[in-house]
Amino acid sequence: MKKASYLIPLSLILIIASCQAPKEEKVEEEIKFEIEVKNIKMNGNDAKVFNLKNGNGMEVELTNYGATISRISVPDRDGNSGDIMLTYNKVEDFVTDSYFFGATAGRYANRIANGKFSLDGETYQLATNNGKNHLHGGVKGFNQKIWEAEVLELEDAVGVKMTYVSADGEEGYPGTLTSSISFILGKENKLTIDIGATTDKATIVNLTQHGYFNLSDMKEDILGHEMTIFAEHYTPVGAGLIPTGEIAPVAGTPFDFTSPHKIGERIADTGSGYDHNFVVKKEHDGQLAKMSEAYHAGTGRVFTMYSNMPGVQFYTGNFLDGKQTTNGVTYVKNYGFCVEPQFFPDSPNQPTFPSARLNPGETYSHKIEYVFGVR
């Protein structure tokens, strides 16, 4: 059966009034937004692919399978657009994804020790899918669900809203959780990700975006990228990459990215690579803050990430094993990096960490901004 597709053109006319004498003519600049929607099959289920364009050289491809960002393309300093996320050869391949490429991780992104936590005196046992620990929502997390999706009608951007209802007890979590994610592409090469959730029973929530980035047009690994992380503390880890509970200063350690360092400069001193939570804020105030900035000298691309979460997981693709080749490029160790804004790993079992608890009547709110530029 032929795949259905249609094109929705969205345009915005910006009228810029002259500040000169009243007789000066007005200048008009047309900003064109487009979104193409295709129907596909994912593991036998109906799904959709959305291709967003902002008329400024940036494209974002999404699928409602896993609320996944399957591709981002942005210009380099010469105006040539190139893909800057690790992905698969076609969207249908995401059904076999074991790396969480571009995925929405949840209900709880990152690790929970022994897959256990307690709320109000009751202990909950989650799936243990990462050794003896729970990772990114379990055996079948949010990255493997089909989300309801709708195109957003916006005046100065183009976007898609996705919604998923997780039943009480799914993967062991309490409460029926209703989650929504809006992906909004603006004209200034900014992708805004607005995440919300409500519950009918006390639960824990920690949703994030798990994209792997490489700003080099996939021509080299990420060890030569310069990274800045706006955090003066991090959470050291023990066995299974579970935090010890300590919040330690980064000063004098290979985790100090308060000024730019090449990712590979001190990575050997970490042992197996970076896979650590950086503490941007010790308390969760819900305010948007600059978390990280990556720069690739060869292309001139700059990628800045903002979020209102207290922490960000910096991961350097340590488990990429060369089993995936996309567009002729084999993804080996350190071929992509992740910056995942979040509550701290294992926070349900760490009373000194900001709480990821969500109660009925409250709204979980997580905002992420990806901003791309050149220098």
How remote is the C-alpha of 6 from its chain's centroid?
27
Q: Could you say which of 61, 170, 340, 369 is catalytic?
A: 340
137: CB partners within 8 A, 6+ apart? 105, 106, 107, 108, 109, 143, 171
d(C-alpha 297, C-alpha 294), whole Å: 10
Q: Is 210 tagged catalytic?
A: yes
52: CB partners within 8 A, 6+ apart? 33, 34, 35, 59, 60, 61, 62, 158, 159, 160, 183, 185
Looking at residue 80, its amino acid is N
Looking at residue 350, its amino acid is Q
Q: Could you say which of 61, 136, 170, 210 is catalytic?
A: 210
CB 364 within 8 A of CB 177: no
CB 319 within 8 A of CB 311: no
Active-site residues, by number, are: 210, 340
